[in-house]
Amino acid sequence: MRSLAGASYRTRPIRFLELWEHGGWRVKVYGIAAAAELPRPALVTAAKATAAQHLPREPGGDGRHGAAFLTVHDGADGTWVLVDWWANGNLLHHLPFGGDLADPAGELRPLTGGLAACTYELAVTDFERRAWLREVYAAERPDLDGYLAARLEAEV
């Protein structure tokens, strides 16, 4: 069995990029980059276009809260985009996409086969889960604006 000790792990910056409003959704946009401080702008633009296509058309329908987060990862071996939104209080919908590292503005394809996220992207998911519990789902007085104001900035 191959040892994972000393694998090629290096910290990466996770940066809050913006609170993006689209079609009634309020989307917290995060950037992760393997070789820079931020993902390339063309990838962020492509990620937002992908999210716009895949977020449900009615943000408040079927128990949805109109709150989402978008993780844009300019990785070492590809580009990755995660579109996530909250529904029914405790459910997180998750759509992962992948693209070509050499073409950050290119097509982002839905990922199949069960891949959810990498260790860097999971830091965003973990932060968002904790913020959702604290500000909305487990809060005595749910505060959606408080949730949207909670933002991750870290080296992971």
Tell me the pLDDT tens digit for each residue of 105-129.
999 999 999 989 999 999 999 999 9
How far apart (Å, rounded) are the C-alpha atoms in residues 34 and 135?
31
Q: Give the pLDDT band of residue 139 (cuts 50, 70, 90).
A: very high
How far apart (Å, rounded) are the C-alpha atoms in residues 112 and 73?
18
Its pTM stands at 0.94
Give the per-residue pLDDT at 153: 98
List pLDDT tens digits, range 36-65: 999 999 999 999 999 999 999 988 877 889
- β-strand partners of 82: 71, 96
Comparing C-alpha atoms, which of 33, 52, 13 is closest to residue 104?
33
Q: Give the pLDDT band of residue 2 (cuts 50, 70, 90).
A: low
